[in-house]
Structure 1
Amino acid sequence: MSSWKNASKAYQKPHRERHQPEARKYLGLLEKKKDYKERADDYNSKKAQLQYLQRKALDKNPDEFYYHMVNSEVKEGVHYDKKKEVTMSTEQVKLMQTQDHRYIASRRVIEDNKVKSLQANLHQLGSDNLNKHTFFVDDEKELKKFSLTKRLDTPAELLHRRYNRLRNTDVTSKNLQALTKDTDTLINVTKLRHKAYKELEQRAGRKKKLATLERKIEIKKILQDKTRTVKARLAPETPDSAPVYIWKSERKR
């Protein structure tokens, strides 16, 4: 008999909760037991937390002291931390500014050296003002006889090149054919050249920003010097430029 009961329980149809009736479908999904349980657990946990805080407030000793009281206060019922005031001497401030100035100056020198090395390795092919090559002649008769291949001493197939333009003495028929037909090499060289120019542009911009920042620190350091007097300010400080001052001339003893 017991085995029959166990078998009937094993094959018992699972209980399924009903869905929202059609007449109440406008109210949305029907809340199931698992939804209610989640909501109830959340409510009970918040209730327990509030009870704990109430007990903690009731048990608080008004005469107790802890060190965070020094750095915090309550204003109009709102508790917030006080801002820590950094107290440093004038010598300490000057030392920090000197270290910052030296670091920025060293970074600017590094970027300057990088820019110079890139400029030395690159031919300035991208800018129009550097790619113009003007030839002058005396009269129209000489202009009619003018031959660019003779003047540059290079084959006509290589005249369109602005780099690696070989002379007639350095070019043979075999390598001339290779130079004119090797389009893959030309494409790769062009890509590398564009990449190098992009890096050059980025480093030049970084160098300019570091130079501006270095100038700003220098001016702040001069303004802290009590022996120097400002006569007027010509231009305020901007994100891209340092302020411009006119200093009062003083007679040297």
Structure 2
Amino acid sequence: MNKLSAVFWDVDGTLADTELCGHRVAFNLAFKDFDLNWYWDKSKYLDLLRISGGLNRIINYRNEIYSDITDDLCVKIQSRKAFHYKELIDAGEIKVREGVYRLIHELAVFNVEQFIVTTSGRNSLEPFLHKALNSYLNYFSKIITYEDVINHKPFPDAYNLAVKLSQNSNLNCIAIEDSNVGVEAAKAANINCLMTLPPWSNNFQNITDKATACVDGLGNDNNCTKLFYGKPLISNYVDFAYLNKLNN
């Protein structure tokens, strides 16, 4: 039996609903600051989520529309975007997803090591963590960000690093992700992965079938989790027992 020893949390869309109400808004404010006639509506931004990392999205979009802005300006836009994102965090616009606090605490009770494994940059991540998860940060052993690896999701580098630092077998670890890219990264590292569909997901046909299980969220007593595929839930929501079950 592979006892669950470590859980690796993604951030954007998994720990919190950061994408449409946070990052997208901050990007558009940064574009305006640089007098760019760019605007990412919800549809365009969801399309860009297939690309890991904010700077990579800016560069990809620049190339897509044949803009002549330089790489240096792309870096400056990303930096300005981080400023606006922090302001949104400080204003309380970024909300932790339901069930996250409960599960973090429960995993700690069962002595499960917890890591944050994200493609977000540390400068944009830390304000969110200290605002929304400040009293829970001591439950996390390590935080792996964009700066810690060369190849980002869907490459397995971040998860390989997490396994190495945790000193656990990948058979005793599980990732929690919200995106196809994240699931691919976890599976490429030979880690089981629970996919929690993001709040903005409305097209199940585009969701990968490679996750170990797929649910609509972690759930709580008053909001039961809906299972799309994978092993049946043990209770009405995702808990330690269910994550342990997925690894066996």
TM-score between the two structures when normalised by the length of structure 2: 0.18
Structure with the higher helix share, 1 or 2? 1
Looking at secondary structure, tell me which structure has more strand per residue.
2
Normalised to the residue count of structure 1, the TM-score between the two structures is 0.18
Higher relative contact order (CA 8 A, sep 6+): 2
Larger radius of gyration: 1
